[in-house]
Amino acid sequence: MADQQSAPHHPRDAVSEPALVRWLLILISAIFLALFLVVPLGTVVGRVVVAGWGSFVDTISESDTQSAIRLTLSVAALAVPFNLVFGIAAAWAIAKFEFKGKTFLTTLIDLPFSVSPVISGLVYVLLFGADTWLGPQLKAMGFPIIFAFPGIFLATVFVTFPFIARELIPLMQAQGTADEEAAISLGASGWQTFIRVTLPNIKWALLYGVLLCNARAMGEFGAVSVVSGHVRGKTETMPLHIEALYNDYSTDGAFAVASLLAALALVTLILRTLLEVKFGADVGNGRHK
Amino acid sequence: MSLGLALTMLTLIVLIPLAALALRAAALGPAGFYEVISDPRVFAALKVSFLTALAAAIANAIFGTLTAWVLVRYNFFGRRIFDALIDLPFAMPTAVAGIALVSVYSPKGLIGQWLAPLGIKIAYTPLGIIVALIAVGFPFVVRTVQPVLEEISRETEEISATLGANRFQTLFFVVLPPLIPAILTGFALALARGVGEYGSVIFIAGNLPFKSEIAPLLIVIKLEEFNYAGATAIAAIMLAVSFLMLFVINGIQSWSQKRFGHG
């Protein structure tokens, strides 16, 4: 840059835009980002600050809010490990073994991404709802699925299903099987190979996938809304509680709960960015196809 | 063994439930389907969903490409933070985005108050749906175009300039064409997301039947009325049209991949 000459046909000028155009384009995209993302996020923070600390504490310490927080944490605490097991098993099978229909399997794993959240909830209502054979049977046995915890868990697992698998598959494919073959030829068992060789190789990508999966699991609205039944203090997760407060004209309360989820989203983004800066080659592979 | 475990979980969580939807839809028969679609309210909701998603995806294709260009080619203060913020919609729960957007774009909101005197109403109109869908779909195009743009060699641009093209001609005829498959991919992802989006939309939409009622909301309403057949039919139509769109766009993409040699 420093040695840039003022000759009008210097190649650097030919493959760049005038400074004015550059700044105009940066300005346009910055305004776009501000209008649709930054200002709305700032509003969440602003509304909570304006309402004051007392109002925030009041909302958060309400028993309905507390139970919504507990439910959201419990659902995520079960759904994330479930998808962790699936993600590792699927990525291990796809990356380390050859079998027919591999591409098809990868497509199927991505399927939940192209299904509307509402439909992701609906499929479980069609399977376990009141007008099915199975649903009322299970309910009579004291194990209701729809409008109860199991339904919320299933819907959450469905929408977060691809996150960890698609993060691991490209990395494990790129790493190949040489390390594992070496471990096995030296006498390690399959399980030892996995714990001592494979897992350390994929740990950062795994953490990255878990972060994204968790953020989505805690924030899911549409799918959970269909199966939850919206019973306050019982089957209402944090996102559903935000809607209930908002519809009750308790806007300050809605923003107080929303600020907790917004904070979770920001922490997720920051950790993610740190992981990308530090382990850029390993993480972020599944972000876009 | 890991394959067996993965397949079992996939079957239980994804395949059986989706098959249940397909079976229930098939059981409706053509007459049952026709009965649901011929309801003008259902037709209007599907139209609102697809048209608003299309408008938002077009806006995101244009501004997403522009943003990817700015992030890859220009160096400016705060670029890193700018880049990290793009992914905000992926991490932000839709209900949070929904109440935040409506409070910004309502006639008394931070931005809405400046638009109201001009006669522009965003919240509680189809325009509000488009705003929400732009917000949630923004990262798709940026994140598909960005890596392709990073890999493109700048030599072709130099050659183009040497051969006498001005900068605009170079950008339009040399830089843009190889980006088209990536732009289309991002466009398709944003479109698919927009058609099915629920949480961020219902707060800002106003949800007036025939005007600003989206198809996913109508599914929820049918379910609340215990009208499982109606919900199933709308869901099946949405899925079929979404898959068809993705299929067509995949076709265009593989065509332009052959033509331009980029993915």
Q: What is the DSSP string of A167-217?
A: HHHHHHHHH-SHHHHHHHHTT--HHHHIIIIIHHHHHHHHHHHHHHHHHHH
Q: How far apart are alpha carbons B133 and A36 in whole angstroms?
A: 10
Q: What is residue B151's predicted lDDT score, i.e. its pLDDT?
A: 86
A52-278, CATH topology level: MetI-like fold (1.10.3720)
Question: Which of A92, A125, A239 is the closest to B223 by Cβ?
Answer: A125
Q: What is residue A288's predicted lDDT score, i.e. its pLDDT?
A: 44
Q: What is residue A19's predicted lDDT score, i.e. its pLDDT?
A: 87
Report residue A100 as tokens.
């027919």
Question: Mutation test of the interface with chain A: which of B28, B83, B99, B159, choosing the one with the most A Cβ atoms within 10 A?
Answer: B99
Cβ atoms of A260 and A73 within 8 Å: the answer is no
Contacts of A109 in chain B (CB under 8 A): 10
Residues of chain A with pLDDT under 50: 1-11, 288-289
DSSP B111: T
- Tell me, yes or no, if B257 comes closer than 8 A to chain A by beta carbon: no
Report residue A171 as tokens.
């990395």
CA nearest A193: which of A209, A205, A207, A182? Answer: A182
Q: What is residue A5's predicted lDDT score, i.e. its pLDDT?
A: 43
Question: Which of A82, A116, A265 is the closest to B238 by Cβ?
Answer: A116
Which chain A residues in 179-198 lie under 8 Å from chain B, judged by CB atoms? none
Question: Which of B99, B231, B232 is the closest to A254 by Cβ?
Answer: B99
DSSP B153: -
CA nearest A74: which of A210, A238, A225? Answer: A238
- Report mean pLDDT in 10-residue bins for chain B, 263 residues: 87 92 91 89 95 96 96 91 90 95 93 91 94 95 92 85 87 88 89 93 93 95 92 93 77 73 51
Cβ atoms of A266 and A188 within 8 Å: the answer is no
Contacts of B185 in chain A (CB under 8 A): 289
CA nearest B234: which of B89, B95, B32? Answer: B32
- Tell me, yes or no, if A176 comes closer than 8 A to chain B by beta carbon: no
- Tell me, yes or no, if B76 comes closer than 8 A to chain A by beta carbon: yes
Q: What is residue A4's predicted lDDT score, i.e. its pLDDT?
A: 46
**CA-CA-CA-CA torsion sign (A16, A18, A23, A24):** negative
Question: Which of B17, B170, B246 is the closest to A127 by Cβ?
Answer: B17
Q: What is residue B261's predicted lDDT score, i.e. its pLDDT?
A: 59
Q: What is the DSSP string of A238-258?
A: HHHHHHHHHHTT-HHHHHHHH
The phi, psi pair for B212, rounded to 5°, reads -130, 30
pLDDT, tens only, B186-228:
998 899 899 999 999 999 998 999 999 999 999 999 999 989 9
Beta strand ranges found along chain A (DSSP E) = none
Cβ–Cβ of B158/A14 closer than 8 Å? yes
Cβ–Cβ of A11/B87 closer than 8 Å? no
- Tell me, yes or no, if A32 comes closer than 8 A to chain B by beta carbon: yes
The end-to-end CA distance of chain B, in Å, is 34
Cβ atoms of B157 and A76 within 8 Å: the answer is no
Cβ–Cβ of B88/A41 closer than 8 Å? yes
Cβ–Cβ of A25/B85 closer than 8 Å? no
Q: What is residue B153's predicted lDDT score, i.e. its pLDDT?
A: 79
Cβ atoms of B100 and B203 within 8 Å: the answer is no
**CA-CA-CA-CA torsion sign (A236, A240, A245, A247):** negative
Complete domains list, chain B, with CATH? 1-32 (no CATH), 39-260 (1.10.3720.10)
CA nearest B95: which of A147, A63, A68, A204? Answer: A68
Say what the ipTM of the complex is.
Answer: 0.90
- Tell me, yes or no, if B21 comes closer than 8 A to chain A by beta carbon: yes
CA nearest A198: which of B6, B2, B10, B5? Answer: B2
Q: How far apart are alpha carbons A148 and A146 in whole angstroms?
A: 5
Neighbours of A94 (CB within 10 A): 24
Cβ atoms of B171 and A18 within 8 Å: the answer is no
Report residue A203 as tokens.
């740990």
Question: Which of B97, B147, B161 is the closest to A14 by Cβ?
Answer: B161
- Tell me, yes or no, if B183 comes closer than 8 A to chain A by beta carbon: no
